[in-house]
């Protein structure tokens, strides 16, 4: 039994996904361009590394067009997701790695460090609380948490994740903890090497970051107002005729399911990771509407969009939001939005972009 999903990514590109019940073959991605219907098929099998699919590797960092970010890849390895079962969880792909590359870029890490470094305020600022909405495997949250010194200029961040998939919540926690542990081991090895070479060890700001919780919930619904300092959201952004309903049960036990029932359940949970409804924006719009409520006064949100989401219209819309002073001090300001990351341009279309959203006080 095989199911074919036809997903229009933009006028020049349609993604055809073949989902099979074959236990040795789960998902087949068939990119077809209007001008070239013979594009080679790209297959993703269970256990296949991201590197084999052309999107980087579990242990060796990310693959970037034209070799960009080679030094960053050596410094900041991609968190391992070897422990994650991708039957019902979104597998890290181009959009995930765009998030990693954007946040670790020289320009964005400089902006974030200026914004959150403890020495930029008269008194030490509290530890930033990072929330990833819809964590999936947790690779993005793990990357920022484990590499917070490079990205934020501090090592005391608190990580929080939400997802409607219980399996994703469990996977995320393990991914973050594993990434922190590996970063700590790397720091210890560097210090030992310096001591063996009789060099003065570089100042070590040991990782104090930790993951506080992963919540089984819809978007940021249970989050207290004005508490999130950094919000990350890689939404289901693909335009689809309809939006899948949210899970009505948290029971993901497949032991009692028939093969076809198990296949249907896996297909359903995977559809939650990409199906965005009208213009691919139905879920994203709900999160955008909640940003003023959840972001702290210094808070910043990063949201990924595709071309059909009309990102420049989204940026303009955010700029017209009514300003709210999260401090309650009556300060004036405005909402700002800026495109800070892009996967490139194809036939005049920016395929994927990341928008930064924040308050600017006057």
CA 345 → CA 2, 71, 242, distances in Å? 33, 24, 28
Kindly report whether the global pTM for this prediction surpasses the value 0.75: yes
Q: For the residues of 141-160, what is the DSSP string, one character each?
A: HHHHHHTHHHHHS-S--EEE
Q: Dump pLDDT digits (tens) for 259-270.
A: 888 899 899 999
Q: Which of 118-127, 131-140, 234-243, 314-323 has the weakest average pLDDT?
A: 118-127
Is position 75 within any domain? no
pLDDT attached to residue 304: 98
Q: Dump pLDDT digits (tens) for 21-44.
A: 444 444 433 343 333 332 222 223
Q: Do residues 339 and 353 touch, judged by C-beta distance below 8 A?
A: yes
Q: Do residues 156 and 164 touch, judged by C-beta distance below 8 A?
A: no
* b/e map 30-59, b = 16+ CB within 10 Å: beeeeeeeeeeeeebeeeeebbebebbbbe
Beta strands in 21-134 (DSSP E): 27-33, 42-44, 129-133
Is pLDDT at 65 greater than 60 in this prediction? no
Is position 12 within any domain? no
pLDDT attached to residue 249: 66
pLDDT attached to residue 253: 64
pLDDT attached to residue 56: 35
Is position 123 within any domain? yes
Top pLDDT among 118 and 34 is at 118
pLDDT attached to residue 23: 44
Q: Dump pLDDT digits (tens) for 272-288.
A: 999 999 999 999 999 99
Q: What percent of the chain has pLDDT over 90?
A: 55
Band of residue 200 on the pLDDT scale cut at 50, 70, 90 = low
Q: Dump pLDDT digits (tens) for 140-195.
A: 999 999 999 999 999 899 999 999 999 999 999 999 999 999 988 877 776 666 66
Q: What percent of the chain has pLDDT over 70?
A: 69
User: Which DSSP category does 67 fall into?
Assistant: G
Count up the domains in the chain and report the number. 1
Is pLDDT at 310 greater than 90 in this prediction? yes
pLDDT attached to residue 162: 98
Is position 56 within any domain? no
Q: Do residues 184 and 190 touch, judged by C-beta distance below 8 A?
A: no
pLDDT attached to residue 201: 52
Is position 103 within any domain? yes
Is pLDDT at 73 greater than 80 in this prediction? no
pLDDT attached to residue 261: 87
Average pLDDT estimate for 245-266 = 80
> Over the chain, what is the mean pLDDT?
78
Is pLDDT at 324 greater than 80 in this prediction? yes
Residues in the chain: 362
Is position 121 within any domain? yes
Band of residue 349 on the pLDDT scale cut at 50, 70, 90 = low
pLDDT attached to residue 117: 80
Let me know the angle formed at the C-alpha of 131 by 125 and 137, rounded to the nearest 5 degrees.
140
Is pLDDT at 210 greater than 80 in this prediction? no
Is position 77 within any domain? no
Top pLDDT among 124 and 138 is at 138
Grouping H, G, I as helix, E, B as strand and the rest as coil, residue 140 is helix
Average pLDDT estimate for 322-350 = 81
pLDDT attached to residue 70: 41
Residue 47 gets the label, from left (phi > 0), alpha (psi -120 to 50) or beta, of left
Q: What CATH number is given to the structural domain containing 213? A: 3.40.50.150
Is pLDDT at 99 greater than 90 in this prediction? yes
Is position 66 within any domain? no
- Domain span at residue 185 reads 85-192+205-361
User: What sign results for the dihedral spanned by CA atoms 113, 115, 116, 118?
Assistant: positive
């Amino acid at each position: 039994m095989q199911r074919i999903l036809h997903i229009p990514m933009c006028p020049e590109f349609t993604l055809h996904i073949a989902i099979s019940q074959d236990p040795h073959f789960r998902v087949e991605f068939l990119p077809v361009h209007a001008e070239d219907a013979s594009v080679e098929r790209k297959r993703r099998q269970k256990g296949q590394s991201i590197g084999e699919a052309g999107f980087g590797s579990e242990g060796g960092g990310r693959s970037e067009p034209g070799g960009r970010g080679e030094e960053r890849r050596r410094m900041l390895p991609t968190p391992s997701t070897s422990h994650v079962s991708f039957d019902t969880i979104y597998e890290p792909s181009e959009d995930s790695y765009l998030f990693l590359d954007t946040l670790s870029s020289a320009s964005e890490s400089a902006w974030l460090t200026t914004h959150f470094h403890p020495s930029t305020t008269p008194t030490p600022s509290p530890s930033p609380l990072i929330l990833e909405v819809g964590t999936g495997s947790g690779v993005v949250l793990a990357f920022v948490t484990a590499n917070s010194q490079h990205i934020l200029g501090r090592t005391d961040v608190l990580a929080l994740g939400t997802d409607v998939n219980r399996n994703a919540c469990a996977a995320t926690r393990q991914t973050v903890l594993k990434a922190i542990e590996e970063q700590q081991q790397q720091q210890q090895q560097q210090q030992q090497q310096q001591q063996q070479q009789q060099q003065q060890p570089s100042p070590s700001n040991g990782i104090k970051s930790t993951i506080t919780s992963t919540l089984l919930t819809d978007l940021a619904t249970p989050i207290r107002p004005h508490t999130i300092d950094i919000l990350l959201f890689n939404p289901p952004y693909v335009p689809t005729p309809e939006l899948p309903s949210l899970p009505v049960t948290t029971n993901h036990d497949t032991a009692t399911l028939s093969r076809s029932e198990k296949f249907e359940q896996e297909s359903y949970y995977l559809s939650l990771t990409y199906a965005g409804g009208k213009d691919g924006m139905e879920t994203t719009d709900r999160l955008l509407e909640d940003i003023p409520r959840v972001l702290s006064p210094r808070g910043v949100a990063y949201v990924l969009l595709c071309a059909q989401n009309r990102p420049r219209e989204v940026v303009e819309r955010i700029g017209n939001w009514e300003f709210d002073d999260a401090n309650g001090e009556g300060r004036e300001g405005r909402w700002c939005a800026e495109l800070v990351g892009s996967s490139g341009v194809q036939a005049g279309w920016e395929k994927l972009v990341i928008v930064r959203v924040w308050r600017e006080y006057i």
